[in-house]
Amino acid sequence: MPKVIIVGGGCFGLSTAYALSLKSEYEVWVFDRQSIPSPDAASTDINKIMRFDYGDDITYMHLMMEALPYWHQYNKERAEQGESPVFHETGVLMMSRHGEYSDFEKKSLRNIRQAGYGHCIEELDGEAIIKRYPQFKTAVHHGFNIAYLNKAGGWCNSAEAVKHMHQKCLQQGVRFVIGGDQGTLSSLYCPNNNKTEGIVTMDGKIHKADKVVLATGSWTPGVVEMENQIIATGQAVIQFKPYGDLRDQFDQNCPVWCADLSKTGFYGFPINADGKMKIGIHNSGYLWPRKHDNVSIPRTQVAFECDTIPLSALREFRRFLANFIPGTSCMDIAYSRLCWYCDSIDGDFLISQHPKYSNLIIAAGDSGHGMKFLPNIGFQVRNVIEDISTDYTRKWAWRNMDVANTKLDGLRQGSAVNRGILLGHDENMRFASPDELTAATAHL
């Protein structure tokens, strides 16, 4: 029976483990250095956007359309277990400015309708936005006066979704080695040149396998040589705990909103059951290079518990929100962090046999939009393991692109790749202090 070791128990790793477990011929093991959901994984969060709005990139549009029935099934499974839903179908409000959709929204509308999902779309002018969602009245008056609502979208409770998939894997007989030295990868086990024959954990034990899958997210380029095809970038997110009118306006019936996302980078969520409202910015992000080789690696609050977000990001948030949701200006930022993406060189996933290490599969390059595919991305990783060619596996194969050709995905703020270096010489690259996150210093 072929043994497959998966390193990483996040979205890609668990999805792969589950897909493999559905075929009786595999012995599947998952190793993770932390408990599941891992406290510093990108997938461990209170919410992630669920959308199939992808401009001209219809590959991901179709992949999400395939994922939707699974998400509804997960909600049914959760209800049977007495648990809350993981998918909240609030809709996604895609807002543009000055009475005209951005190119991204225009292409998304066209392709969604051509795929037969036009019934999910409701277009709104400024007056209709205010009537339907009065909480965006100020935003409309500042130019965000055209939008469409994708009624099939919404958000997922990503940490709970990871827990749910973990349970499904356990029920299927997937074996887990979690936490401590026994669950932490030390190195690949390659006794014969570059032939991968398993892994070595930090306790010194060798775990042999026929195939190894690295599903280590933004840590991947720091684990194995990736020839600059992926890079770890930190993306700033904040949370408020609204009260009064603002809490009522952005309650759990509010849609996810994207504020001309391909140009501003800003998006946000309704308030969750714990009273938290998350807002993020999707842009080039920040780097934290290692000293010995300059490879950017994640810097998370597990190791640096006092980290917040860079001062430059804080200023961007406060400046934007003063015009978009002005009620936040009198509120402290209750929580902030950098969410670490595994950015690929072109915004596409990288799910491929490694070109230098036989029997090593890389499942990475989430590029900030992978969580919605938790139910079905693993089937495509399984196809790579089994050397089955599909439209997906061909698109996500190793690209050998030059760094000079790096480009951002269609929903990133702007088009320039301009990544700040954390804690560098620039004052804007230091982490904001707790005092600076308060409303008293909202106008930095």
Q: Any idea what the CATH number is for the domain that residue 397 is in?
A: 3.50.50.60
Q: What is the per-residue pLDDT across 299-355, written as a single tens digit (0 to 9) for each? A: 999 999 999 999 999 999 999 999 999 999 999 999 999 999 999 999 999 999 999
Nearest to 42 by CA among 432, 302, 270: 302
Total domains, the chain: 1
| 62, amino acid identity | H
Domain assignment present for residue 289? The answer is no
CA distance 204 to 105: 52
Q: By the 8 A CB rule, do 234 and 286 touch?
A: yes
Domain assignment present for residue 73? The answer is yes
Q: Which residues contact 340 (CB under 8 A, 6 or more apart)?
A: 40, 42, 217, 218, 232, 233, 234, 235, 298, 299, 300
Q: By the 8 A CB rule, do 49 and 261 touch?
A: no
- Residue 444 has a pLDDT of 55
CA distance 417 to 109: 27
**Residue 154, token pair as written in the block:** 């919404």
CA count, 13 A, side-chain hemisphere, 111: 18
- Residue 401 has a pLDDT of 85
- Residue 252 has a pLDDT of 82
Domain assignment present for residue 62? The answer is yes
Domain assignment present for residue 110? The answer is no
Domain assignment present for residue 75? The answer is yes
CA count, 13 A, side-chain hemisphere, 101: 17
Q: Is the dihedral of CA 239, 245, 250, 253 positive or negative?
A: positive
- Residue 406 has a pLDDT of 77
Domain assignment present for residue 369? The answer is yes
Q: Which residues contact 216 (CB under 8 A, 6 or more apart)?
A: 7, 8, 13, 185, 223, 364
Residue 206's domain spans which residues? 1-87+155-229+346-402
- Residue 284 has a pLDDT of 87
Domain assignment present for residue 382? The answer is yes
- When computed from its CA atoms, the radius of gyration of the chain, rounded to whole angstroms, is 21
Beta bridge partners of 31: 7, 177
> In which residue ranges of the chain is pLDDT below 50?
none
pTM: 0.96
Residue with tokens 């040149």: 193
**Residue 282, token pair as written in the block:** 């999707």
**Residue 153, token pair as written in the block:** 């979208």
Domain assignment present for residue 59? The answer is yes
Give how far the C-alpha of residue 101 lies from the chain's centroid of Cα atoms, to the nearest Å: 25
Nearest to 109 by CA among 67, 52, 71: 52
CA distance 432 to 336: 10
